[in-house]
Amino acid sequence: MSSEVAISVKDLSKCYQIYAKPQDRLKQMLFRRRRYYNEAWAVRDVSFEVKRGETVGIIGRNGSGKSTILQMICGTLNPTGGQITTNGRIAALLELGSGFNPEFTGRENVYLAASLYGLSRDEITRRFDRIAQFADIGDYIDQPVRTYSSGMYVRLAFAVIAHVDADILVVDEALAVGDAVFTQKCMRFIREFKKNGTLLFVSHDMGSVINLCERAVWMHQGQLRESGHSKDIAEEYLQYTLQEVYGEEAKLEGLRQPASIDNHSSDRAPEIEATQAAVVEYPSNFQTQNNLSAANGWKSGAGEIVSVRLSRLSGEDGEVLKGGEVVRMSIRAVLHKDFTQPILGFLVRDRLGQDLFGENTLPFSDSNPCTGEAGETIEGHFVFRLPMLPNGQYVVMSSLADGDQHNHVQHHWMHDALVINVSSSKVRWGLVGVPFEAVTLVKTP
């Protein structure tokens, strides 16, 4: 295997033998020529590579084989067939409680778990204070871990893998049980780890996959369904899962061809040349470009969005919008079938796919019920103050749905309906700029 490859998986398979009766196990041992079990393939003929320094997400429904693959890569589960090759030390956070003895204290489990990663007792002792500080579970460090909550379990487990100098980090969905403060601490560590290490990440949170991962592998019923750019795969997976929920109620048709397998390049939204700030005193300038013809997503045929527009509320002409002024987002749609309660909405996302802000028409229609008939055109208007954003490109997702907040069908979903290019002169920190009224520095007695 090339030294540039951290993980190589070739024709990997895992089959479990399912026996109808306990005595069938004994019969199988005595009479090997006959088969007394049924085969259940958790993973079958899966192949992919993860390069050094790359971050790859594995997505799929429960039971698709994601966790089984991770366990085989980490060596805690033996494959039925295929080959796994890894370069470097692997640290893993798999299912809750793996690698810990529930009767041992947290302190004892730190020494146990770290020793399994190859650290000597002296090395663990030198790092113990940092591990305990990272976990931040206080005096519970000297209590048996069977008394821990699920969140405390994850805190201690992640603290250990964060301090074993791993080359490859494997993280299952375990972070979902942590509190917000600790999750942010873990994310800061993961982002720092990504600078030099290799990350294999399993999650049902598509925002995290798009944010953290360059590539994604989509597992379905134990087989690799697709792999490619994380944003493309996450979008297709979202469409697939919604189609599973809707069943025959609505047939969602993709707006473009599926992403090519292992194709790192993809049809991105068109690049726009940054417009220089027309008025320098404004913190951020926005230029928009309609992208409906190239937008990815799906539609059911019940209706379609025909226009998405961001404009100045005053009605003044001009291509450049300014951060801080009041603007209107307008979404127009044509209905091809009757709607009981049409909903129009949008989300503004950054280049990593993170949702920054958005709204839909439910707050209006809940108090002002309205229906839609086939052939009618509807338009949603959203008036808000444009935030100050850092330099870069942003996209607007727009959607047309029918129903209410708890039960609705997305009939038209466009991921990149509008492209916003921001030229900022003052916004430097964070995702969204805040217009400070004053900044001072004084000496106090």
Domain of residue 343 covers 284-424
Residue 206 inside a domain? The answer is yes
What angle do the packed helices 150-161 and 121-135 form, to 10 degrees?
Answer: 130
298 Cβ contact list (under 8 Å, min separation 6):
239, 242, 252, 253, 254, 255, 412, 413
For the chain, how many structural domains are there in total?
Answer: 2
Residue after which a domain boundary falls, among 207, 232, 257? 232
CATH number, domain at 321?
2.70.50.60
303 is a domain residue: yes
Could you tell me if residue 364 is inside a domain?
yes
Q: Is residue 94, in this structure, part of any structural domain at all?
A: yes
Could you tell me if 54 and 133 lie in one domain?
yes
What is the domain-level CATH number for residue 167? Answer: 3.40.50.300
Co-location of 209 and 312 in the same domain: no
pLDDT digits 0-9 by tens, 389-428: 877 788 899 999 999 888 899 999 998 899 888 886 666 5
One domain for residues 74 and 153: yes
Q: Give 225-278 pLDDT, tens digit per residue.
A: 999 999 889 989 988 988 888 888 788 887 764 444 444 444 444 443 433 333
**Same domain, residue pair 227 and 288:** no
- Residue 108 falls inside a structural domain: yes
| 23 part of a folded domain | yes
**Res 276: pLDDT:** 37
Q: What is the pLDDT of residues 93-147, one digit of tens each?
A: 876 656 789 999 999 999 999 998 889 999 999 999 999 999 989 999 999 999 9
Judge if 227 and 359 occupy the same domain: no
Structure pTM?
A: 0.75
Single residue among 211, 232, 253 that ends a domain in this structure: 232
Residue-wise burial string across 87-110, b where 16 or more C-beta atoms lie within 10 A, e elsewhere: beebbbbbebbbbbeeebbbbbbb
- Clarify whether residues 78 and 192 are in a common domain: yes
Burial class (CB in 10 A: 0-12, 13-18, 19+), 339: buried
